[in-house]
Amino acid sequence: MKQKSGLSTFYTIVLTQAFSMIGSRMSGLAVGIWLFQQTGDVTPLALVAFFGVLPTILGSNVAGLLADRYDRRVIIVLSDTGQAVCTAVLFLLFLTGTFRVEYLYILAFLQGSAEMFQGPAFGASVAMLVPDEHRDRANAIQQLVMPAAGLIAPATASLLYSMVGVEGVILFDLFTFGVAMVVMFFSHIPRPAQTDVGQQSRGSFWREFTAGFSYLWSYKPMVLLLICACLVNFVMNGLGIMNTPYILLRTDNNEVLLGVLLSVMNAGAIAGGLLIATWGGTRPRIHTVMPAIILMGIAASAFGFAQHPVAMGAAMFLIMFCPPLANACLFSILQGKVPPDLQGRVFAAVGQIAMLMTPLAYWLVGPLADTVFEPAVVQAGWSTVAPLVGSNAGAGIGLMMVIGGLVLTVVCVAFYLLPSLRHFERDVPDYEPVEAVTAIDAPLQEVAV
């Protein structure tokens, strides 16, 4: 009965978070299209992404420490509240006609600061809500949230935008945050029992602050895997920020076609999530993680070569088909290896290391696209690559996609050939489960985050 209750809570939370994600993707898409059409540059979009991810790089270990110390339900509620406040401010800026791009950078940083607390808290909650035998399916379902939102959001955002404008889309986003907060407030997430490893991490603030990194560093295969993840995110997040301008340039600013292609891309992620949910991946799971990432790199290059919407859609479908397979299996590995009372700090450290180079990617792609690759299309030397990526608007970004995809493929093949990475699950021991202690959820006012 307790097992069923935990699963019901997990699915309820995931469903409402998916609803909230739909609202966020809708408002993000509406503001992103407006921003690119106003400026014609990739750089402002990249800067929004940069300021949004910066808090995760700087403060995730604090978020992880709080997730292991306090009620994870409360932390998630407060995270949603902070993000909702930022959305409300954005709504007021548009409503009063005082919106400026600089304000968007500030709000992106503040919203990212609130959001960074949610990842470690909810990631560490999965092991407390979902039994081991359901973990692969639960992680796969989590991987469906973002693509499902991405599939629904473009068409819905376009329809709502035409009816009520950007203010109406942002207001809907605010409503979805409210639903998610109410559901989370009345949910119950058990507190983890203390393990020997978790007890050893207790002590001074600095010791607890660095416990996640210390745990990861003690297992070199984990370090290798995270270095690989860092490089993957550097390439794919950098390329991904250019999707909207790239498609608009390739399709002569066809917003309807943009929405269709983004929906196709997210349909690929849904297909990947459904496959891993029903299949469960290989054993060892690393043989699903690495081939999926390699295939994603090949698809990214194909996206750069593609010049027809059908070919672009096929490549985008395949790009997003791969991450759910890799991510679901990777989270299952970590949830089985890391003691539950240490998972908040470890997952925060994983997020920090994996995203460490992403801000650099956001700083690089905008200027490279705007001042190097796109201007190069009209230069004489472009004729050498024109047969591969074309010579129309967007061809410069297309070449960036090709180069990034090839680099990713070669690097990941090299990592996959390392025996210590292939034997990761065999060499790193699982944690020893202990009897769970489920505490009554603390009242909201008792925890200050």
DSSP 67-108: HHHS-HHHHHHHHHHHHHHHHHHHHHHHHTT---HHHHHHHH
Owner of token pair 């950078």: 105
Report the C-alpha gap between 43 and 35 in whole angstroms: 10
Whether 289 and 239 have beta carbons less than 8 Å apart is answered as: no
Contacts of residue 380, defined as CB under 8 A and 6 or more positions apart, other chains included, come to none
CA 389, CA 399: separation in Å to the nearest integer? 6
> What is the tens place of the pLDDT at every residue in 214-271?
999 999 899 999 999 999 999 999 999 899 889 989 999 887 788 789 888 988 989 9
Residue 26: the pLDDT is 85
Report pLDDT for 38.
Answer: 75
Residue 432 exposure: Cα atoms within 13 Å on the Cβ side: 5
Type of residue at 419: P
Cα separation, 51 vs 363, in Å, equals 10
Regions of the chain with pLDDT less than 50: 1-4, 435-449
Structure tokens at 252: 């002569």
* Cα end-to-end distance, the chain, whole Å: 32
**pLDDT tens digit sequence for 109-120:** 999 999 999 888
Which pLDDT belongs to residue 103? 92
| CA 52/CA 159 separation, integer angstroms | 26
Q: What does the pLDDT read at residue 442? A: 33
Q: Tell me: the pLDDT tens digits for 146-180?
A: 777 777 877 687 677 767 777 888 899 999 999 98
Instruction: Return the pLDDT at 163.
Output: 78
Sign of CA pseudo-dihedral 224, 424, 237, 174: negative
- What pLDDT score does 448 carry? 29
**pLDDT on residue 259:** 78
The structure tokens listed for 139 are: 């992680």
User: Which pLDDT belongs to residue 415?
Assistant: 97
- Which domains, and CATH codes, for the chain? 2-195+202-431 (1.20.1250.20)
pTM surpassing 0.85?
Answer: no
Structure tokens at 394: 């967007």
pLDDT recorded at residue 205: 65
Q: Are 29 and 38 in contact (CB under 8 A)?
A: no
Q: Alpha-carbon distance 342 to 353, whole Å?
A: 17
Q: Which residues contact 370 (CB under 8 A, 6 or more apart)?
A: 41, 42, 43
Q: Rounded to the nearest 10 degrees, what angle do helices 220-240 and 358-367 cross at?
A: 30
DSSP single-letter state for residue 191:
P
Sorted by sequence, the CB contacts under 8 Å of residue 294 that are 6+ apart come out as 409, 412, 413, 416
